[in-house]
């Protein structure tokens, strides 16, 4: 959520930022309308309070003189009743102002390239060279079914479309990648946590999933809880409504969780395979940092995610998202895209974002500097480290052999216990 004071004082900057993001500026109209009503009611309440104070002073003076104050008491009661009614409306409009703020996206950082959509994202760097095959590389779903390590047909029988049943060395590959990623992250100073995967409405609102992305979420009704679309939700809310000390920062967490997404509006896209599933596993990185450190922390977080791909020797590239492709809560984002031979293209496997204080304002996560009064909002960051299903895809396709087997990346072999899946 943006700073309401900044929005009130800089409406033209907000509208300009919305334009860069390709957001219809009408999403800002509700805020302006509700803010005007709130301001008008606030002014009326203040005026009536001043008049009530004047009457109260007159009543005091007249009582000392022994004069009749019955008429003034009636006026005072009338003003008091009016103020109570107006304060009710004022509270309603303050809620409306906050609600309208909740659907306004973050303002892009000045370094984010301006563009209309993902076709105008900027490539920052590449690592590794795509392998040259002396045979026609297969898609991961064909490889997985031939090796009997992925079963889409039985998963569909169990749950429906966009689910997968991992079997044998396929299940072990998922588990091996989880442990490999977590161990590497912990060695870099991240604290491992295993958070709840069902969260309340406040947690979803705190990280920006609600109210904007309600259509993407799985929900249970009694009690009302949501299945997380990413561990970012659970982990960021660890410190919701807390005031941290400066010496506690930075705080680094890593977590493995299952993730759940409806993938609403994506029907017809990636209908086969593991690319776009309703349920998938992911290892996440989350940071809480001082504002002045957050962009350096974004660079290091991105490098930490890249290191996993390098240790698995998977070719990838780093993309800076343009304003038109930027996520709702992010001020700046790098995507890591891994090379998939069967598709002959790079596909997203990680997204690393700096949210500045956007999430911290929603979740009331603050810190107190040593020797200074007052508090400030922390900056939050997160990144996929990595999406495990998409890492499975990349390994199966990049390490496939002509005889149908798949070589296990050297760095993963201690976790797999085998060198080849066949």
Cis status of the peptide bond prior to 386, with omega within 30 of 0: yes
Continuous segment of H or E residues that includes residue 74: helix 70-101
- Comparing C-alpha atoms, which of 231, 175, 152 is closest to residue 388? 175
Continuous segment of H or E residues that includes residue 412: none
- The whole-number pLDDT of residue 270 equals 80
Which residues, 6 or more positions from 229, have their beta carbon under 8 angstroms from its beta carbon? 209, 213, 216, 217, 259, 260, 261
- The whole-number pLDDT of residue 272 equals 87
DSSP 245: E
The pTM of the full predicted model, rounded to 2 decimals, is 0.92
**In order of start, what are the domains of the chain with their CATH numbers?**
4-101 (1.10.287.40), 118-421 (3.30.930.10)
- The whole-number pLDDT of residue 267 equals 63
* Per-residue pLDDT in tens (0 to 9) along the chain, 422 residues: 999 999 999 999 999 999 999 988 888 998 999 999 999 999 999 999 999 999 999 999 999 999 999 899 999 999 999 999 999 999 999 999 999 999 999 999 999 999 999 999 999 999 999 999 999 999 999 999 999 999 999 999 999 999 999 999 999 999 999 999 999 999 999 999 999 999 999 999 999 999 999 999 999 999 999 999 999 999 999 999 999 999 999 999 999 999 999 986 666 678 789 999 999 999 999 999 999 999 999 999 999 999 999 999 999 999 999 999 999 999 999 999 999 999 999 999 999 999 999 999 999 999 999 999 999 999 999 999 999 999 999 999 999 999 999 999 999 999 999 999 99
Greatest Cα pair distance, the chain, in angstroms, is: 108
The answer to whether 403 touches 280, Cβ cutoff 8 Å, is: no
């Amino acid at each position: 959520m943006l700073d309401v004071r900044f929005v009130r004082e800089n409406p033209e900057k907000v509208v300009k930022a919305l334009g860069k993001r390709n957001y219809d500026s009408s999403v800002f109209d509700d805020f302006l309308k509700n803010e005007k009503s709130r301001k008008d009611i606030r002014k009326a309440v203040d005026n009536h309070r001043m008049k009530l104070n004047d009457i109260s002073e007159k009543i005091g003076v007249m009582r000392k003189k022994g004069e009749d104050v019955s008429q003034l008491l009636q006026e005072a009661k009338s003003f008091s009743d009016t103020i109570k009614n107006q304060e009710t409306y004022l509270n309603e409009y303050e809620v409306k102002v906050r609600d309208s703020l909740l659907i306004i996206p973050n303002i892009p950082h000045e370094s984010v390239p301006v563009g209309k959509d993902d076709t105008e994202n900027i490539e920052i760097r590449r690592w590794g060279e795509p392998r040259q095959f002396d045979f026609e590389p297969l898609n991961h779903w064909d490889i997985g079914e031939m090796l009997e390590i992925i079963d889409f047909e039985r998963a569909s029988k169990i749950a429906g479309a966009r689910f997968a049943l991992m079997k044998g060395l396929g299940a072990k590959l998922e588990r091996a990648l989880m442990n490999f990623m977590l161990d590497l992250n912990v060695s870099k100073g991240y604290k491992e946590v295993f958070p709840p995967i069902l969260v309340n409405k406040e947690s979803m609102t705190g990280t920006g999933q609600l109210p904007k992305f309600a259509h993407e979420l799985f929900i249970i009704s009694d009690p009302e809880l949501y299945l997380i679309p990413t561990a970012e939700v659970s982990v960021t809310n660890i410190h919701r409504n807390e005031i941290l000390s400066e010496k506690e920062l930075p705080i680094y967490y890593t977590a493995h969780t299952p993730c759940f997404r409806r993938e609403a509006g994506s029907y017809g896209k990636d209908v086969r395979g593991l690319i776009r599933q309703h349920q998938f596993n992911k290892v996440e990185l989350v940071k809480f940092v001082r504002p002045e450190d957050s962009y350096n922390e974004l660079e290091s977080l991105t490098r930490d995610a890249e290191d996993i791909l390098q240790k698995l020797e998977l070719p990838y590239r780093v993309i800076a998202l343009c304003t038109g492709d930027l996520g709702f809560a992010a001020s700046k984002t790098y995507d890591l895209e891994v090379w998939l031979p069967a598709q002959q293209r790079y596909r997203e496997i990680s997204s690393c974002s700096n949210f500045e204080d956007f999430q911290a304002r929603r979740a009331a996560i603050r810190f107190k500097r040593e020797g200074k009064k007052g508090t400030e909002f922390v900056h939050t960051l997160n990144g996929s480290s990595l999406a495990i299903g998409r890492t499975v895809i990349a390994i199966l396709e990049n390490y496939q052999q002509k005889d149908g087997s798949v070589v296990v990346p050297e760095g993963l072999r201690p976790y797999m216990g085998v060198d080849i899946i066949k």
